[in-house]
Amino acid sequence: MRVLLVEDTDDLRHLFARVLKRRGIVVCEAEDGQAALNSLTDFAPDLVVTDLMMPVLDGFELIRRLRATPSTARIPVVAISADTSIEAERRARDAGAADFFVKPLDFKTLLARFSTLDSTRAH
């Protein structure tokens, strides 16, 4: 599995990438939505995990742009946020997120969801 990980907090992004890599997942890291879009020329992810609140290009707009582009429209997107409000989750899902997790992340639950999303995409 190949995951594009988009998170503006360096420590969290690096920790999460390390957890994923230990499980054999290929990870491309991006510090904001624009960097994530730029990475798509060289990296074809099976899944995108994005923070919602970021500088330059936030996660909501990143998700909308992924959905609007034919080559990325079907890639599952998992939104992550420190915002625990129902509104944040609603906005993420309205933009096209397949799932929503609140920080701090429960990596075990999140990784289990990855498997489900990856197998759904394959069909």
pLDDT (average), residues 60-70: 97
pLDDT for position 115: 76
CA-to-CA distance for 24 and 96, rounded, in angstroms?
27
For 96, the token pair is: 């096209």
End-to-end CA distance of the chain: 15
Confidence of residue 123 (pLDDT cuts 50, 70, 90): very low
For 85, the token pair is: 């409000």
Q: How far is CA 97 from CA 24, 67, 107, 109, in A?
A: 24, 9, 18, 17
Angle (deg, nearest 10), helices 10-22 and 107-122: 60
pLDDT in tens, 86-119: 999 999 999 999 999 998 888 888 888 877 776 5
**Domain spans of the chain, in order of start:** 2-106
Q: Which CATH number fits domain 2-106: 3.20.20.30, 3.30.160.270, 3.40.1360.10, 3.40.50.2300?
A: 3.40.50.2300
Q: How far is CA 110 from CA 12, 42, 56, 119, in A?
A: 15, 25, 26, 15
